[in-house]
Chains A and B, each alone.
Chain A
Amino acid sequence: MTSSRSAWVFAWALLAPAIIYVLIIVAWPLVETVRLSFTDASLRKVVNYVGWRNYEKIFNETFLTVITRTFIWTFFSVLLKMIIGMCGAVLLNAAVPGRNLFRILTMPPWIVPMAIGIFMWGWMYNGQFGMISGLLQRFGIVDGPVAFLAYGSTAFWATIVTDVWIGVPMVTIYFLAAMQAIPKDLYEAAWTDGASRWTRFRRITLPLMAPAIITMSMLSLIATFNSFDIIWILTQGGPSGQTTTMIIDTYQVAIGSKKYGEGAARAVVICIFLSLFCLAYFRVTRRLHAMDKA
């Protein structure tokens, strides 16, 4: 290598453009959000410093309900993504003819423009014309049409199902890759000892995939917590606010009502949660990494 000083200068010169770009577009807005959360900024020209007033204002019962709902929404969405993703990976790992084609066919929800996939779900949930209500009636499971997006409880689950649908392909492919990285001789040894297929899955596959499952759960948790498009397109947070998560709530206050200060205070609360998830993610991956080395 050449002198380490010139290498140092060169490396930082390569990094500088990306760092500056991200500082302007992400880091500065992050700081600005915190600053705005202490002001009464809106469309008006005059902006006053208001101290903690925005925070005092938002910590009411409605906001606490929104926080709780966001966590429940995220929890079930991530849980279902992990379960369905694992089932998908196991099925697509089975040595049956056609599996390469099946693997390709899992990818569309991940690759097509998200909004368009969601439009199609919107139509499926439609009570009068949609496939789900139509088929349920056909098979006599329900009596009349069910407008899934018109009632709080069904709309809540409908948005979760769509979020799961978008997240599953990536989880499945990731799990599939992790599954194939497990040494084959482990399975052969277990098979020689007479372990059944289920025992092999429980004793070899699951434990060895724990790092992949944990990593994916954390990443999925962050993505799901941030989910905006799905709820906005399907319900805009309705009916009567029953699918309003923190992101949707913030958008409605900040962009919808142009209350930038109050919106920023909500965004700061979201950022605090995200930072905690982020820290947890880094700690977990570092610990897994250390375990790998040992």
Chain B
Amino acid sequence: MALFRKDDTPMIDRYRWWEIIGIYAGIFAFLFFMLAPFIEGFLVSLKPLAQLFSTPYSFWPENGSFAAYFTMWESVPGFARYIFNSFLISSVATIIVLLLVVPAAYAFARFSFKGMGLVLAAFLAVSMFSGAVLLIPLFRLMRTLGMLNTYWSMIVPGAAFLIPAAIWLLRTYMMRIPRELNEAAYMDGASQFYTFRRVILPIARPGIIVVAIMTFIGAYSQQFIFALTFNSKTEYMPLPIGLYAYFGKQEVIWNELMAASFVGIAPALILIFFLQRYLVGGLTAGAVKQ
């Protein structure tokens, strides 16, 4: 892995030694801010309970161990279930979003009719009205549809608020597919639908995968408020709410809670390392071109 590329940044004048020290000091301060909660959480998960409650505060674990990572499965009841629920909710939400967004993004990328610009703007506006503002009617809607206290109460509203970003990303990606491909297909007598399904979809697959990943991460990390409001059944709780409920109890076993949190964020952290290229590309795709 190339750690740095020279062509990326103008290497006009070389850094002097004190500038390099300054840059590294700045980077480490910045990264410390970004990672401090994880450092603290990890250290807490290693510390024995007695040390957590002793004064004065000590930074490093004494007699630290990974014991909490084994005991938490019993102390945080339903932990495995929470993780499963989180994955299930995020996966179904991602599938719904993709089914809706892939055709829509293609329409926005390829066709331009009166009113389409307005529809696109409306989609973007939607992402700005967070679910928190619309909770009352959504609550009543979920109740009418009989979705309260089911997985659907978290999936259905959650998916709606993931749609705008997904459309935006995928539209940008699909606009880069050459128009000539469409025209060649029409010349061969292919229908609009056939062209979309057999010509465009296969080419757009990498873009669709990026959008799927971003949507899944979004769903996995932002399922708090709908779960808090629409579901009170332990067996359907996603991880954040499961841990939050545990938080509210009297005797919280902190080292185990932090161990559980770490196991809960591990999938996301592993994903970052494998997918960071796509993530950065995806995040900035719509941005720079604006």
Which residues on A are within 8 Å of B, measured CB to CB?
A: 1-2, 6-8, 10-12, 14-15, 17-19, 21-22, 24-30, 32-33, 36, 41, 84, 87-88, 91-109, 111-117, 119-124, 128-131, 133-135, 137-138, 165, 168-170, 173-174, 177-178, 180-181, 184, 187-188, 191, 197, 211-212, 215, 222, 226, 228-229, 232-233, 247, 250-251, 254-255, 260, 263-264, 267, 270-271, 274, 277-278, 281-282, 285, 288-289, 292
Interface of A, secondary structure class, is helix
Which residues on B are within 8 Å of A, measured CB to CB?
A: 1-4, 6, 8-13, 15, 20, 23-24, 26-27, 30-31, 33-38, 40-41, 44, 52-53, 55-59, 86, 99-101, 103-104, 106-108, 110-111, 113, 116, 119, 121, 123, 125-126, 128-130, 132-141, 156-157, 159-161, 163, 167, 182-183, 186, 192-193, 196, 217, 220-225, 228-229, 239-241, 243-244, 247, 254, 257-258, 261, 264-265, 268-269, 271-273, 276, 279-280, 283-284, 287-288, 290
Among A33, A100, A187, the residue within 8 A (CB) of B4 is A100
- A79 to B23: give the CA distance in the assembly, Å: 23
Q: Are A188 and B12 in contact (CB under 8 A)?
A: yes
Q: Are A181 and B128 in contact (CB under 8 A)?
A: no
- A32 to B135: give the CA distance in the assembly, Å: 11
Q: Are A33 and B137 in contact (CB under 8 A)?
A: yes
Residues in chain A near residue B37, CB distance under 8 A: 109, 117, 120-121, 123-124, 165
Interface of B, secondary structure class, is helix
| Pairs across A and B, CB under 8 Å, 19 listed | A14-B103, A18-B103, A32-B137, A84-B33, A88-B30, A91-B30, A108-B268, A115-B243, A120-B40, A123-B44, A137-B56, A173-B283, A191-B12, A228-B225, A233-B244, A247-B133, A260-B136, A267-B134, A270-B133
Known: A138-B57, A178-B288. A101 touches B133 (CB 8 A): no
Chain B nearest CB, measured from A205 CB (Å): 11
